[in-house]
Amino acid sequence: MKMWIFLVLAACAVGDSALGCTCDTMKWATCEDNPCRCYLLVDDGAKQPLNCSDMIPKCFLMKGEMYRARKGQSTRTLGGKPVETAFVDNDGIYDPECESDGKFKAKQCNNTEECWCVNSAGVRRTDKGDKDLKCEKLVETYWVRLQLKHKEVANPVNTANLKSDIANSIHKRYKNFNKDMVEDVQYDPEARLIVVDVKKPMGNRKSDLTQMAYYMEKDVKVLPLFKDQVPFKPTIGNQQLDLENILVYYVDEEAPTFTMKHLTGGIIAVIVVVAVAVVAGVLVLIFAKKRQSQRYNKAQQREMEAM
């Protein structure tokens, strides 16, 4: 009889932890049971509550990442083995100020005397100034261009349904992301580039493009923010593509006001260009049809300089 009760209790315990509350959309979250509540540590003793049924606002994610970096904790999940493009991920992350709903405050200072204005993606859109810098309002990013480079494939990619294939892959991966916002998709087989334009109507404040872009950037460049750590592999035709790089361009409802610093040549500059483009790139890219992959980085640089 005692044994039987023990078994029932043991079964309950196992059942409980299997049902235990977890956060699918944030691998660094800590969750408490009864009732299930998850949060992210963003400072000593500062717990940011999370809604794990949705993607987590980028501002909270950046705060959490900065805190982990300060604590010397890994900002990756599978510590040790760096991925190919890991060194490029030095993407000018800072410790942002967030509104209670997860939006970025228009003015950011990174705990220093130096301040700048950001867009709704948290990306700097003005020159840096001192503490008295005025940022009238948070300027909305209404268009994001994702430039995805995939690895070599054995068979040619079947692009008959390119746009809907990409839209479906994004919708499946990035919770609640409205696939109607995928406006245009282009493909360059030689450069192995997929260029995805994601747009919302100007003035729309309900949808947010930048969360999805940030999750995707992490998926491709470092490791997924999702708990399950499954890589993002869009399915085009009936092939799953492995991605090797991503560039994200932001286009705001109002043009940015910064002056670009001149960039020097060499391989370091290419890395800088990639990092700068991810953080500060606000430009219209001409999609060159016959661009070879070697010329690709140089073309990037020219475009940045042209700005």
Ligand X SMILES: *[C@@H]1O[C@H](CO)[C@@H](O)[C@H](O)[C@H]1NC(C)=O
Distance CA 95, CA 60 (A): 10
Close Cβ partners of 172 (under 8 Å, ≥ 6 residues apart): none
Which is closer to ligand X, CB of 67 or CB of 296? 67
Q: Which of 60, 67, 94, 142 binds ligand X (CB under 6 A)?
A: 94
Q: Are 58 and 210 in contact (CB under 8 A)?
A: yes
**Minimum distance from CB of 44 to ligand X (Å)?**
16
Q: Are 227 and 56 in contact (CB under 8 A)?
A: no
33 binds ligand X (CB under 6 A): no
Distance CA 205, CA 13 (A): 45
Query: How does DSSP classify residue 86?
Result: G
Among the residue ranges 50-58, 191-199, 222-230, 246-254, the one whose residues contact ligand X (CB under 6 A): 50-58
* Contacts (CB under 6 A) with ligand X, residues 95-134: 110
Q: Which of 79, 92, 189, 231 binds ligand X (CB under 6 A)?
A: 92
Close Cβ partners of 281 (under 8 Å, ≥ 6 residues apart): 247, 248, 249, 250, 304
49 binds ligand X (CB under 6 A): no
The site for ligand X, by CB under 6 A, has a size of 7
Among the residue ranges 46-54, 146-154, 164-172, 179-187, the one whose residues contact ligand X (CB under 6 A): 46-54
Close Cβ partners of 78 (under 8 Å, ≥ 6 residues apart): 223, 229
Q: For residue 221, what are its two tokens?
A: 């460049």
Which is closer to ligand X, CB of 159 or CB of 204? 204
**Minimum distance from CB of 43 to ligand X (Å)?**
14
Among the residue ranges 51-59, 179-187, 210-218, 287-295, the one whose residues contact ligand X (CB under 6 A): 51-59
**CA 21 centroid distance within chain:** 25
* Contacts (CB under 6 A) with ligand X, residues 167-186: 176
Binding site for ligand X (CB under 6 A): 51, 53-54, 92, 94, 110, 176
